[in-house]
Amino acid sequence: MKIDIQPREDHQVILTVEVEPQMLEDAKARAARHISKHTKIPGFRPGKAPLAVVQRTVGAEAILEEAVELLINDVYPKALDESGIEPYGPGSLENVKSMTPPVFEFIVPLRAEVELGDYQSIRLPYELSDIRDEEVENVISGLLEQQAVVEPVERKAQEGDLIYLHLDAHRKQPKEGESQTIIDNRAIPVVVLKEDDDSSNDWPFPGFSRKLIDLSSGEEVSFEYDFPEDAANESLQGVKADFHVSVDAVNSRTLPELNDEFAQSVGDFPTLDSLRSQIRKNLEEQNLEMYHETYDEDLLEKVVEMSSIKYPPQMLEHEIDHLIQHLKERLERQRLDMDLYLKSRQMDLDGLREELKPLAEARIKKSLVLFDVADQLKINVSPDDLQAETERTLGDFSRIMPEKEFRKMVASQEERSDLIGNIMMDMIIVRAKEQLRDIARGLEPKSSDQLQETDDTEKPAAEVESENASSETVDGEDEENN
């Protein structure tokens, strides 16, 4: 074989392969035998008709087409082996340049290449804030609110009451093409905040609940509000609006007494101090996780910026496919589908793919950099570590997956292998991030044994039953940009 390699700018190569004419003739004979096995030819048993007879029956073009396919299947892997090319994935036949002699032209995507910059020199300030007492008390307040006793009252609304109402809001001077309606007769519950409470999260605007004081069931009231130019809702910035409130019911709220008995009602906490201690521990773990997530992202961006990263377009398309599949699964959990989502965004699938391209590119670069760092620092996962993490992951899946689906996953060799492979990659990425973090902090990188100890000790501690209440104050994750 004669082989010629021409690099392309998109990290692919044009692989031109010329083979001996006899190889094509041999392939034609094989093609004829294959065709005769599946084509009834009078006077011959399946697979026994000679080439000339098969050619008269099905035509020379059909035999040539089959022969070229057989020849390519033989030639392509041999050409890769002889040329020393390491492909990212399957190549494609771009052109049959000649049949006399046979010359084939393939496009081959290359494995990604990373040249890391001097990441060892990066230093990034590490400033993890402590959990304040107010944050712990905010969680306690949320737990108290969950156990509040709500009772209807025949009096005017006052601080701390729960008001059920209907709300309308309209723009006073809508712009051309802009709807006058902001809120259309929406039924909402509102807790009247105290004067010194933080009302910045009041909806539909800060201080709204205080306007309900002294209203009784059945009363209605109208008032104006001018949204500031920096209002959180961009569509309402600078808007002058009329609001109309119709009170349906006024309810008092009696909170339980904050004592050991309350702590025991929340979970396995003998005292109020033990509850506070566990809440603080949970908040510290969440705070650490969130801080590391931001710190690691900033650090990775710096490593990517100083590195040279090359990858073929197929890798980008595969990553976009992954993001779209993830989005589909998320939509299904919300009982939505992709078509409805695209219609709501007024775009087609091609438009979505183009929108996701920057995110996919960023993810690819960060992953490639992390794996190259792991390789340089000789980060590995021992069989014992991998088995322990796999067992823990399967235990988590058994609790959250339907039993039938879990058994199907465990029974499938392919799914188990994929799961173990993903777990191993995740463990390597986690350890590489930790090593980079230590380097950026000016600390001595950890050994493999120390990394294993960290894997064990950083598992989340037992969570109080109030986790959902506390997570709203300290945790929030956006899975996708869409």
Q: Which CATH architecture has domain 149-254?
A: Roll (3.10)
Q: How high is the pLDDT of residue 41? A: 81
Domain locations in the chain as residue ranges: 2-110, 149-254, 262-474
pTM of this prediction exceeds 0.85: no
Summarised one tens digit per residue, pLDDT across range 119-164 is 999 999 999 999 999 999 999 999 998 999 999 999 999 999 999 9
Q: Do the first three CATH levels of 2-110 and 149-254 match, i.e. the same topology?
A: no
The amino acid sitting at 274 is S
Summarised one tens digit per residue, pLDDT across range 424-440 is 999 999 999 999 999 99
Domain 2-110 sits in which CATH superfamily?
Answer: Trigger factor ribosome-binding domain (3.30.70.1050)
Q: How high is the pLDDT of residue 87? A: 95
Report the pLDDT averaged over residues 243-249. 97
Higher pLDDT, 481 or 55: 55
Contact in structure between 236 and 182 (CB atoms under 8 Å): yes
Share of the chain above pLDDT 90, in %: 71
